[in-house]
Amino acid sequence: MEIAIDTGNKQVKTDHSVSISGVVSQTTIPATARPEDYIRYRGRYYALTNKRQEYLRDKSETERYFVLAMMGIAKELDYMESHNEIAYDPDKTYYITMLGGLPPAHMEDAHLKDNFKAYFKTSEAQYVWYKGRTWRVKITKVYVYAQCYAAIMTVFTQIKPYPRVVGIDIGGFTTDYLTMVRGTIDIEHTDSLEQGLTLLYQTIHKKCLKKFDAIIEESDVDAILSGDTSLYDEEIITLVEEEAQAFVDSLLSSFREFQIDLKHSFVVFLGGGAILLKKYIEKSPLLGRYMFLEDIKGNVHGYKLLYQVMQKKKGEQS
C-alpha cells in the first residue's frame, strides 16, 4: 500500500494526521502524552514534543525522521483499520510504498535523494506499537518528489493558463521557492532561503523581552496572528503585527535580488507560514496575481497525485 508522508522541519503530515517534528525518547510509557502522540519502537517509547528541534538539510543525519515516519505510518494504518479499509492482523507484514519529498532545490542533489531513499527503506520488517497494537511494517519502496511542486500540481488546472508560476512555501526554518515556466521547473530560479517563521518568532521574542519584559513564545505569536488577542496588551499586539508585516515585506522584496519579478508572475503561496501571514502578504504592492493553497497537506496530496500519474504512464507503456 502507498502512504504519503511530508517530513517537514516543523511538522510531519500524512493523509489523516499532522504532528510536530519533534520527539523525545524514554524507556517508560509517557505519563502525560495522549495515546495517539507516542509509539514504542525498538524497546523505547517516542513521544511528540513541542521543543524546538534543530534544522537539518539532510534528514538522514538523525533517527528522528525515521521514528516520525514510523509514527505516521502507524497513524495511517490505525485510521484505515478503524474505517474498515484494512484488517488488523498481528502476524501480517504490511508492505509500504512510501511517498516523500525534498525541497525543490535539493532534488538536483543526487546524494541527498539517494540518502533519503536509503534512510527510509527497510531491509527487514519493523515492529511499531501504537495505541495498544503492534504493527509489523516493511518499507519496500521509496519515491521522492519535489515539495512545493507536488502541492502546486494539485491545483494544476488553475495555474495552467499562466506562462510563469512562482510557488512560495513559507515553512518553520526556510522558505522554499520554485519557478515554473510553461509547466517546466526553472531550476536556476528555484532555491531555499533561510527565512522561515523561526526568524520572525525570534525577533518578536527578543523585542518583547527588551521593550515590555514579556516572554512571548511561538504559540503566542501564532495566536495573535490568528486573531486570538484576548490575553495580550495592545502594545504587544501592535509589535507582533508590525514585525509580521516587516518580515513579509523583507521576504518578498528579496525575490528581486534573484531576478524574480513577482508582480508579473502568478504566485502560489503555500505552507502553514503563508496561511498564518496571509493578511500581511495581501497588503504587498509587489504582487500581481496570486492565490493561497490553504490545504496544509498539499504536498501529501501532491505526492499521491504524482505517484498515480507515474503508475498510469507505466500502465500505458506496458
pLDDT digits (tens, 9 = 90+) for 253-300: 999 999 999 999 999 999 889 999 999 999 999 999 999 999 999 999
List CB contacts of 181: < 8 A, sequence separation 6 or more.
163, 164
Whether 68 and 166 map to the same domain: the answer is no
- With respect to residue 312, please indicate whether it lies within any of the assigned structural domains: no
Note whether 130 and 166 are same-domain residues: no
Supply the angle between the helices 234-253 and 218-225 in degrees, to the nearest 10: 90
Residue 51 confidence (pLDDT): 76
Under DSSP, the state recorded for 8 is -
Residue-level pLDDT at 172: 85
Q: Which residues contact 111 (CB under 8 A, 6 or more apart)?
A: none
Residues 172, 150, 15, 35, CA torsion sign: negative
The answer to the question of residue 242 being in a domain is yes
Confidence of residue 316 (pLDDT cuts 50, 70, 90): confident
The pLDDT tens digits of the residues spanning 205-216 come to 999 999 999 999
Domain-located, residue 304: no
Q: What is the mean pLDDT of residues 185-205?
A: 94
Give 7's contacts (C-beta < 8 A, 6+ positions apart): 21, 59, 65, 68, 69, 100, 101
Asked if the structure places residue 301 within a domain, the reply is no
Let me know whether 96 and 14 are in one domain: yes
pLDDT more than 90, % of the chain: 85
Domain count, the chain: 2
| Any domain includes 305 | no
* Residue 123 sits in the same domain as residue 166: no
234-253 vs 197-212: helix crossing angle, rounded to 10: 140
Query: Are residues 106 and 14 both part of a single domain?
Result: yes
**Do 161 and 135 belong together in one domain?**
no
Least confident of 103-107, 162-166, 314-318: 314-318
pTM of the model: 0.91
9: confidence class by pLDDT, cuts 50, 70, 90: confident
Q: In this structure, are 162 and 254 located in the same domain?
A: yes
Question: What is the pLDDT at residue 318?
Answer: 59
Residues 7 and 92 in one domain: yes
* 111-170 pLDDT tens trace: 889 999 999 999 999 999 999 999 999 999 999 999 999 999 999 999 999 999 999 999
pLDDT of res. 313: 85
Same domain (yes/no): 226, 125:
no
Give the pLDDT confidence score for residue 28 in this predicted structure: 96
Q: Flag the least confident range among 1-5, 70-74, 106-110, 232-236.
A: 106-110
Shared-domain flag, residues 41 and 80: yes
Q: What is the model's pLDDT at position 109?
A: 87
142 shares its domain with 181? no
DSSP tag of 189:
G
Among 6-10, 71-75, 152-156, 245-249, where is mean pLDDT lowest? 6-10
CA-angle at 107, arms to 195 and 170, nearest 5°: 25
Cell of 305: 497525485
Which residue is listed with cell 502525560? 32
Last residue of a domain, one of 116, 146, 176: 146
Find all residues with CB under 8 Å of 230, minimum gap 6, and list them: none
Residue 11's domain spans which residues?
A: 2-146
What CATH number should be reported for the domain holding residue 270?
3.30.420.40
**Assigned domain for 267 exists:** yes
Please tell me the least confidently modeled range out of 6-15, 225-234, 249-258. 6-15
Within this chain, do residues 112 and 169 fall inside the same structural domain, yes or no? no
In a domain, 310, yes or no: no
The two counts, helices (H) then strands (E), for the chain are: 10, 16
In this structure, is residue 318 part of a structural domain? no
Query: What is the three-state SS of 82-150?
Result: HCCCCCCCCCCEEEEEEEEEECHHHHHCHHHHHHHHHHHCCCCCEEEEECCEEEEEEEEEEEEEECCHH
pLDDT at 41: 97
Mean pLDDT for the chain? 94
